Chain A
């Protein structure tokens, strides 16, 4: 069953490039962005159009990008560089400026290299590695203030506090509705799969934000009117997907999980739900927005050096408990060091609390699909056996 609102969202995404182009022709400034710490609220409040960029799953773009950046960079970075070289992505092509944050140091390099070869106007935001110190907070506030000043120069206007308050409300509403929709995945006869929910989240990268919010609200109403039961499906394998970015266009892992009758009940991804979680902007000011961005679940590119402060692990653990997931599939893209280096430690720590984890290390080529299928199948077999015996590993 396909929900009618989902179809509406799909149609809106199809039409969006044309609309964006005409908005741009009418003088609107489009700010494309890569990363995780770009304050869309501020871009929006200045009357600009924020568009999150980046695509996955396309080997051709990976090859193209590797001509400019290294083959030692992760597939997502190479594909993103390939987008610049290819110049066919309507969102990137229409971007007047591209913003990058350096939470992921490879994304920072993507910004530097694309700026040099493709001459796009580029802005950067520095992200502190340890979000918990006063010095980090001050630094990050300054980075946001600086980013805002640069945007104001482009917009030829100052940031209006009332506009900012409106934008902060709008984005908070989007996050709230997104969380409600994702929460519904726990319902057994939920009419959407995780893949479809993620498609909806990714639609938010591109669509006009007010239009997107009303579509999300409509979708939520439709979901609520169609779901009744909270009982778990028999023989269901409930999975949490964590790890590297799963960018729009990257369906390999998700398709495999769904083909093997696994159900992704929640993700722990920054291309999925995580940006909507634990984000509380106290006041509609640039400093407060900076504080809120920094106080989210620690992003996976920021190393947790203090063991006691590893809120990321605590978040994953509590998500498993909340969703009654049977295991975690930890997806790492080749050369995504920030995710890959964590694998052994994460697996050991999850094992210590009785949560099985499977790492899938891959890139966008299809050459390893069958090998991954075998591993996922074996993992699910183990989980099924544990399910039947009622024992966790």
Chain B
């Protein structure tokens, strides 16, 4: 028996609230009016990306139904139109650089490039055909994933497998420059597998020294790697990158990181959670900047102001139960389905991986390479496991979490290796329940029942 889920539609009543907002002015001079945003989210978007408006409960990337959180709708607009901006970058000759790891976009943007993650590769292929409904999008995505795996190995995690698509598709990637060994052991070998058979796309290796002793040579090594990265990016763009370029970009992205931190502190300070779990996921905007950081900063300021006002007024996020179980998520690149968590009486209060990069502040004056290397070397997520656990405990306490979920995707052997250790340390220190959950759903849209069951049981236990 199949169940039809009606598509989500923004109610007409909120249109005036949208229209009260400011225009968005992109760095290339493109101006988007609130009317444009409303039209996209109610007319163009549903036609081009029907799956994004699906209300299928299994769908982990549903739009939030909190329609009065206007900054949330504007963030959704930025997310959904990201592919259009990327197409424009490609048309205009702006190089797209494939990255991975905890290092931020500062260098890539300063060099006049746009950094994209491995998920982009599949997204680009899928976006070649618009109008996909939920089932179709899911099947197409699964089929592309399978193709990628066959070209690499079935033991690769769902995200990194996408790198294999570079061998079989003409993708607009001008350079591959991931930060190896930070958080992920798969990316290095996926890039190697590509490189062993093709030299079409230049490859840059940035090594992240994982021996965690507090050593000056570790930072120096990272600094040399960043110099090498910039040299390679200069070759790709044909333009010199000055220290001032780097410093300027660091200032812009520090603002983004600082705004996300402000938002998170306001969110955590609320007696009740001011948004649901979907709308609480604003950290990504500070990390990837919707490919245009000044715009991201504008929308993050709007988010901050709205959160502030909600916390002041004691507004609870739409769809949350009273006193929901507060879950802090750690682990690899996968998260529980936020809508499902809310429905079952929980709420996501934070996650460690993107938050780790957001917590990093890069010194703005002086040698930018030194400053970037020092900041990257101190990333909490990349510290020794015992140190990382200590930092996680601080976040768990600051977010007043009721429980911790260490989640990792099948195939992620670097993060999964420490799942038990981190949760044991957290349990011992905080006395809070902590669970490890292995899933296979990263980038997938269906067959998520097993992980849903485990999350639901954990929430029931906490409540």
Contacts and interface: CB of A to CB of B under 8 A. Distances in A.
Interface residues of B, number: 53
Given A102-B211, A130-B205, A337-B185, A142 B217 contact: yes
Contacts of A337: 153, 155-156, 185-186, 189, 413
Interface of A: 68-74, 77, 102, 105-106, 108-110, 112-113, 116-117, 124-126, 128-130, 133, 135-136, 138-139, 142-143, 146, 303-307, 310, 313, 334-335, 337-338, 340-346, 348-349
A340 B155 contact: yes
Interface of B: 151-153, 155-156, 180-181, 185-186, 188-193, 195-197, 199, 203-205, 207, 209-213, 215, 217-218, 220-221, 224-225, 228, 384-386, 408, 410-414, 416-421, 425, 438
Interface SS of chain B: mixed
Nearest to A304: B192
Contact of A135 (B196, B224, B385): B224
Contacts of A146: 213, 215
22 contacts: A68-B421, A72-B413, A106-B185, A106-B413, A112-B418, A113-B417, A126-B210, A126-B211, A133-B224, A138-B221, A139-B218, A139-B220, A143-B217, A303-B189, A305-B203, A340-B155, A340-B189, A341-B190, A341-B192, A344-B151, A344-B153, A349-B196
Given A69-B420, A72-B438, A113-B418, A303 B192 contact: yes
Contacts of B220: 135, 138-139
B203 A341 contact: no
B207 A303 contact: no
Given A72-B413, A116-B421, 7 more contacts: A72-B438, A73-B416, A133-B228, A139-B220, A307-B195, A337-B413, A341-B189
A345 B197 CA distance: 6
A71 B195 CA distance: 29
B421 A303 contact: no
Contacts of B207: 128-130, 136
Contacts of B417: 69-70, 72-73, 77, 106, 109-110, 112-113
A349 B416 contact: no
Contacts of B420: 68-70, 113
A73 B415 CA distance: 10
Nearest to A125: B211
B185 A72 contact: no
A313 B196 CA distance: 10
Nearest to B203: A305
A74 B441 CA distance: 21
Contacts of B228: 133, 135
B208 to A, nearest CB: 9
A68 to B, nearest CB: 6
A143 B224 CA distance: 16
Nearest to A110: B417
Closest 3 CB pairs of A and B: A126-B211, A341-B189, A135-B224
Nearest to A310: B196
A72 B412 contact: yes
Contact of A349 (B197, B217, B385): B197
B197 A348 contact: yes
